Chains A and B, each alone.
Chain A
Amino acid sequence: MVKKKSSKWIILVLIILAAFISIFPFLWMVSTSFMSEDVIFSLPIQLWPNKLFKAGMWENYKTVISKYSFGLYTWNSFLISFLAALGQIVVCPMASFAFAKMRFPGRRWIYALLLMTLMIPVQVIIIPEYYLMMKLGWINTFLPLIIPSFLSGALGTFMFISVFEAIPSAMFDAAVIDGASAYKILWRVYFPQATASVATLFIIGFMNNWNDLLRPLLYLNKAKLYTVTIGLTRFQTEYTSSWALLLTASVLSVLPLIIVYIFCQRYIIENQMSAGVKG
């Protein structure tokens, strides 16, 4: 599309600038995590971390992990996010298969209600949800953060409806003629055909739960149950004076997701692109 050579250079410069602005805060975060407190509060500003490749370079990390139990918080976040994502890849394909392949009374109504609830801000429903969890005695357990993922997932359901509708009907017909049950067709024919979408939904579910703040904040009030996001906010309110430790904790909180992202970015970005085309 680009004709002139000079405009191609301008575009390249702009793209590099945009990419730089997007990742600079993360570089700055990592850089600060290898600084000592006096370097952070010194002028002129140091970009290069003073402790990097020197004795005691991992000091901030050691403090955050052992003294402020970020290792435990990371494990809690991992456990919650993994189980919640697992719930999504079980419950969403089931509902989608019924919506995409079966006709039953109430189908349109239920679909419309699911679509409607997508737009409801979480703040509208969170108080009754909290009350329910309180009555169930689930406060200070991981259950309020995991069980709902096994029971609902409007976004994942919509995603799988279109994936299942795109699977050639010849496969469906063959399975029906062979006399396979509906469950067999779902789990043995349709589910394996949708591996890429299953992986994508798992990753998205994992990330959303990993990054969630509101629900962990409400449901987990004991330090040994904290997720990384609450750990980070508690750390921030109690130790704001220590930027080095705060940003070290931030690095630890985003690192697992960034590693997953580096390996799976193609899936994630392609999934978002197909969502865009549908509109």
Chain B
Amino acid sequence: MAEKQKFKWHSWATPYILIFPTLIGLFVFRLIPIVSSFVLSFSNWNLIKDPVFNGLENYKELFSDPDFWVILGNTLKITVGYVVGGMVFGLLLALLVNNKIRGMNFFRAAIYMPVITSSVAVGIVWLRILGPKYGILDYLLKMVGITAPYWLQDPKIALWTVTFVQVWKMSGYYMILFLAGLQSISTDVIEASVVDGASPRQRLFRVIIPMLSPTTFFVFTVAIMDAFKNFELIYAMTKGGPQNATNTLVYSVYVNAFSYFRVGYAETIAWVLMAVVGSLTLVNFYVKKYWAQPLE
């Protein structure tokens, strides 16, 4: 649009003045830290003394540490569980709240509420709900004759419990994203399918879900990025335990850097995380080029 202007309405410097703060932030808080964390991942450093570069030592140590493979496995399990759970519940809830019922705004707002509250408070209240004996979930299960497992103390279950709480917290967000997609589907198409005699099930799987696919890709991208935001919840609920059962890459970076002061090693873990996130987004970008609108 601006190219069509016959005269200059601003000086050459104006756009640079406007983006100046963003540019500073981009370099100082994003690009320089990214490059330095990569460089530091090849060093031995404790934040105080000068870093000592040790080649591939950190990577060798990391890959030969059995705990690392457990942590990587946990991260992948949480990611898959979270993305699938978040998307399935998000879509189901969106289909539910897309109906015209009085007071629907209230229900939508209620389902969205966990999204805006802090993970720390959410983690604490779920600790109480899931608590053995005096927790309400165990109590309810006992009433119907089921002995509840130790949700957060059993290493086989703890990871899925944390994943569940994260899905519970975030499903409302994906519900809203899916709802926007559902409401952008033209009603003509749906009415046409009704006229053609499609059953409700056919309508859902043959019409609504295929037409929703741009939204689905968008939600998928967002959910993958959100799947790695589990530091707060793990910090509040399990601190990575029992025996690394809920330890993830993001939590492990924090512990290594700021509890053990093995900063170089923490950067190595951070870059494994970066590789995981990078490859996942790359896959997604092949499927859909840009979800943020490209510039003309």
Contact = CB atoms under 8 A, between A and B. Distances in A.
Interface in A227-274: 228-229, 232-233, 236, 243, 246-247, 250, 253-254, 257-258, 261-262, 265-266, 268-269, 272-274
> Binding site of B, secondary structure by majority: helix, strand, loop or mixed?
helix
A115 B183 CA distance: 27
B109 A98 contact: no
B179 A233 contact: no
B62 interface: no
B193 to A, nearest CB: 11
Interface string B246-279: 0001100110011000010011001101100110
Interface in B11-27: 12, 14-16, 18-19, 21-26
A117 B26 contact: yes
A123 B19 contact: no
B188 to A, nearest CB: 13
Nearest to A157: B22
Contact of B22 (A8, A40, A114, A272): A114
B214 A279 contact: yes
A152 B274 contact: no
A48 to B, nearest CB: 13
B29 to A, nearest CB: 5
Contacts, number: 307
A213 B116 contact: no
B271 A124 contact: yes
Contacts of A278: 218, 291-293
A247 B128 contact: yes
A52 interface: no
A210 B116 CA distance: 10
A175 to B, nearest CB: 9
A277 B184 contact: yes
Interface string A124-145: 1111111110100000000000
A149 B170 CA distance: 24
A15 to B, nearest CB: 5
Given A104-B16, A176-B9, A23 B113 contact: yes
Given A97-B18, A279-B217, 13 more contacts: A98-B19, A102-B15, A110-B22, A115-B290, A123-B254, A126-B257, A127-B270, A186-B18, A232-B236, A253-B120, A273-B180, A277-B215, A279-B218
Interface of A: 1-2, 8, 11-12, 14-16, 18-19, 21-23, 25-26, 28-29, 32, 40-45, 91, 94-95, 97-99, 101-104, 107-108, 110-111, 113-115, 117-121, 123-132, 134, 148, 150-153, 157-158, 161-162, 169, 176, 181-183, 186, 207, 210-211, 213-214, 218, 228-229, 232-233, 236, 243, 246-247, 250, 253-254, 257-258, 261-262, 265-266, 268-269, 272-279
